Chains A and B, each alone.
Chain A
Amino acid sequence: MERTVALIAIFAALIAALGLLPNLMLTSGVPITAQSLGVMLCGTVLGAKRGGLAVLLFVGLVALGLPLLSGGRGGLGVFAGPTMGFVVGFPIAAFTAGFVMEQLRSLPVGLAAGIAAAVGGILVLYIFGVAGFMMVLNKSLIETLTVFSVYIPGDIIKVVLTGLITSGLARARPASVLSRTG
């Protein structure tokens, strides 16, 4: 119990700390933050339930007014802005990533984590992100997808990184990769 609470809390803090790292820059000039990498890692490392709770904790603290999102953003305004779908979708994305990870126990950790991150961190996250954008800005699906397509290459990089980092963690700290140990 103590261990679960501590891991959930530390991973929530890890997402926040990753948001403070300097932006990685793609060659196309689109900035990518490491924050959604943290969301994917929560799912692939902690599993569905605990990973989802860690991200929910993070999003909850953002709502309470802590500036934990990348760029020091936070507060209730985030949930009224055009990117609110992504923030709302974060916990569900992590849960899905964890769920997929748990289903793919027969695959090598890195590959399973990559697939899980793609399903949770891209597919599910974008469903929420796009829906939120459409709702706040009254845009059609095609218009919204055009806007977000520039971020997809960065997300694919993050999926690969999630696979590499999760398999690294499974080697360095196997007992803490809860999505594999149970």
Chain B
Amino acid sequence: MISLTSPVKTAAHGWPAGGKLALLCAATLMLFAVDGAALHLGFLAATAVLYALPGRVFLGAGLKRLFVLWPFVALILLWHLITDDGAAGATIALRMVTAVALANLVTMTTRLSDMMTVVRWLTTPLRRFGVGTQSIELAMALVIRFTPVLANKGQALSMAWRARSVRRPGWRIVLPFAVTAIDDAEHVAEALRARGGL
């Protein structure tokens, strides 16, 4: 399964994931605490520099990921132009883009395994209350393994539908899809028990 971590190696890939997450929290809180369009333009420019540092490929990938925000930016700018409050609209739009860009930056420069380490560290206190943290990790691994498996089965179902009908496969395939998923879950549970269980 493809994760959203950038294949372009940056210096930030080596930084501790916990530190990056703490920095991100602080930066996001600050973004929402201060006002002023000029200030936020500066923040966005600084973020853009961070994206540009690792090179063109990284910058392109980052921009592509931010592109999904355009309907919201358009909505905000349009709304505030109509209500004649362009400066406030610019602040809101700039802040949103910067906040998402910074968060994406952490995701792009942190490997899934490093994130998992942070999760393990965060969930350790739960062990004292008798929560089996190893089953959380097993469940995560199962989701990562089974998402492509289920996606393939869903595709097979919709192809089977197309073979029999001229209409588009709609919600009707969701029921057999869910039944397949439940059967898979029962098989996995059986296999886990057969291997000694949790």
Contacts and interface: CB of A to CB of B under 8 A. Distances in A.
A6 B192 contact: yes
A34 to B, nearest CB: 7
A156 interface: no
Main secondary structure of the interface of B (DSSP, over half): helix
Interface stretch (A13-21, A88-96, A117-125): A13-21
Contacts of B154: 17-18, 20-21
A58 B150 CA distance: 14
Interface residues of A, number: 58
Interface in A8-62: 8-14, 16-18, 20-22, 24, 34, 37, 41, 45, 57-58, 60-61
B147 A2 contact: no
Contacts of A64: 112, 115-116, 119
Given A61-B144, A176-B185, A12 B174 contact: no
Contacts of A139: 79
A168 interface: yes
B74 to A, nearest CB: 12
A20 B143 contact: no
Contacts of A136: 96, 99
Contacts of A176: 182, 185-186
Nearest to A136: B96
B92 to A, nearest CB: 5
Contacts of B112: 64-66
B142 A6 contact: yes
A149 B142 CA distance: 36
A65 B5 contact: yes
A80 B186 contact: no
A165 to B, nearest CB: 5
B178 A169 contact: yes
A142 to B, nearest CB: 12
Interface in B50-99: 65-66, 68-69, 72, 75-76, 79, 88, 92, 96, 99
A137 B76 contact: yes
A41 B175 CA distance: 11
Given A1-B197, A6-B188, A73-B68, A13 B182 contact: no
A133 B160 CA distance: 40
Contact of A10 (B69, B135, B146): B146
A124 to B, nearest CB: 22
B186 A9 contact: no
A60 B153 CA distance: 24
Given A10-B142, A77-B104, A136-B96, A2 B192 contact: yes
Given A2-B189, A10-B181, A18-B174, 4 more contacts: A34-B171, A61-B140, A73-B68, A147-B75
Interface of A: 1-3, 5-14, 16-18, 20-22, 24, 34, 37, 41, 45, 57-58, 60-61, 64-68, 71, 73-82, 136-139, 143, 147, 161, 164-165, 168-169, 172-173, 176
